[in-house]
Amino acid sequence: MPSAPCLLVQHVGEADLRDRLGHGGTVERRQLAAKPTAERGDGRPGMEPGDRRVLGRDVVDVVGTDDPTGGGSVCHRARMDRADLDAIVDELTPVIEAASRRSLEWFRRPIEVASKLDVGFDPVTEADRAVEDELREHLSARFPGHRVVGEERGTTGAGELSWIIDPIDGTRAFVSGNPLFGTLVCLRDATGPLVGWMHLPVLGETYVGRDGAAWLTGPTGRRVLATRTTGALDEAIVCCTHPDMFSEPDEVAAFERVASAARMTRYGGDCANYGFLSLGFVDAVVETDLAPYDIAALVLIVRGAGGLVTSRDGGDPGDGGFVVASAHAALHHELLAVVSG
């Protein structure tokens, strides 16, 4: 009776996990079923020697197969652990901060403001493009196997891991001389975001969220982020960048119900509102018309601080649209009920 087929896999070591280059780690033989499936786990054909895959938080190199039955190959996956994410955070945080500070070269100085829309107004400036270009250049060189998705330059590259960039979240604030704007960067895979960064260059603050934790570093040092435990909506401070973002009648009505029920509503702030929520100074953020790059990094920061972020129906907020962020579960459930009417 022929022996069962084997797949030789090489677990990716920490250094390789950070850049998906080289072949660190240990090699194992994995026994497979007599008739292994010829899938990678996502419906695509089986892996070949030399392939590298990232699925969820797992990474694997396939270095060979040993299949006397002639069957297909199966991907065994090595887990991306806390140490790996820590290494990525340590390496990329100063890079993101430096790129974000580029925007200060144009802040409160004469600058040409263009619109990305033929009808309506969606501002973009040289500063937006400069920040994104600097991040793209670094990420593409450092992680050539990754995809980069940016607000201003679109998508380049391919791979299981993606970098989502909003170079200046709050361009309207930026061109108005308002200091509450920031740079958002998110590392994500096919299952969702892994690490999120927000840097507010005027304030010199960096917010990081990942793996159920979030923290702030700035002029006063480092602090762990934690949302507060305000009770019901009638005791809550709710933030929104601007009420005009709600244009559809049902969305207008939904936000009006929230604003009427809240103790106080504050406007402006853009991405910084989610930082204030994570710091425990406000209780909720309710917004709409968000793009994925507007929210991807912020989800991890708020959740890492103990809050919740969902779509208006309680689903995944990753695609943007109408988003509700709250300090704790009871308040979030109340907000969703008010939003739904």
Q: Residue 21's pLDDT is what?
A: 32
List pLDDT tens digits, range 209-229: 998 899 999 999 999 999 999
First CA to last CA across the chain, in angstroms?
66
Residues 110-120: pLDDT tens digits?
A: 999 999 877 77
CATH 3.40.190.80 maps onto the chain at 233-340
Mind giving me the DSSP string for 107-126? TTS---EEES-SSS--EEEH
| Beta bridge partners of residue 166, listed in sequence order | 184
Strand 52-55 vs strand 182-189: parallel, antiparallel, or unpaired? unpaired
Render each residue's pLDDT in the chain as its tens digit; 341 residues: 344 344 444 444 434 433 433 333 444 444 433 333 333 344 334 445 444 444 334 444 444 444 444 444 333 333 456 777 888 999 999 999 999 999 999 999 999 999 987 777 889 999 999 999 999 999 999 999 899 999 999 999 988 899 999 999 999 999 999 999 999 999 998 888 999 999 999 999 999 999 889 999 999 999 999 999 988 999 999 999 999 999 999 999 999 999 999 999 999 999 999 999 999 999 999 999 999 999 999 999 999 999 999 999 999 999 999 999 999 999 999 999 999 99
- For the entire predicted model, the pTM comes to 0.78
- Choose among 156, 217, 209: nearest CA to 186: 209
CATH class of 82-224: alpha beta
Q: Which pLDDT score, from 0 to 100, does residue 1 have? A: 39
Whether 237 and 282 have beta carbons less than 8 Å apart is answered as: yes
**Tell me, what's the pLDDT at 231?**
87
- Token pair 């937006």 in the structure block, residue: 128
The domain 233-340 having CATH identifier 3.40.190.80: the answer here is yes
- Nearest alpha carbon to residue 243 among 254, 232, 252: 252
Q: Write the CB contacts of 283 (distance below 8 Å, at least 6 apart in sequence).
A: 227, 228, 230, 235, 236, 237, 238, 277, 326, 327, 331
pLDDT of residue 81: 64
All CATH 3.30.540.10 domain ranges in the chain, comma separated: 82-224
User: On the CB side of 325, how many CA atoms lie within 13 Å of its CA?
Assistant: 34
DSSP 10-21: EEPPHHHHHHS-
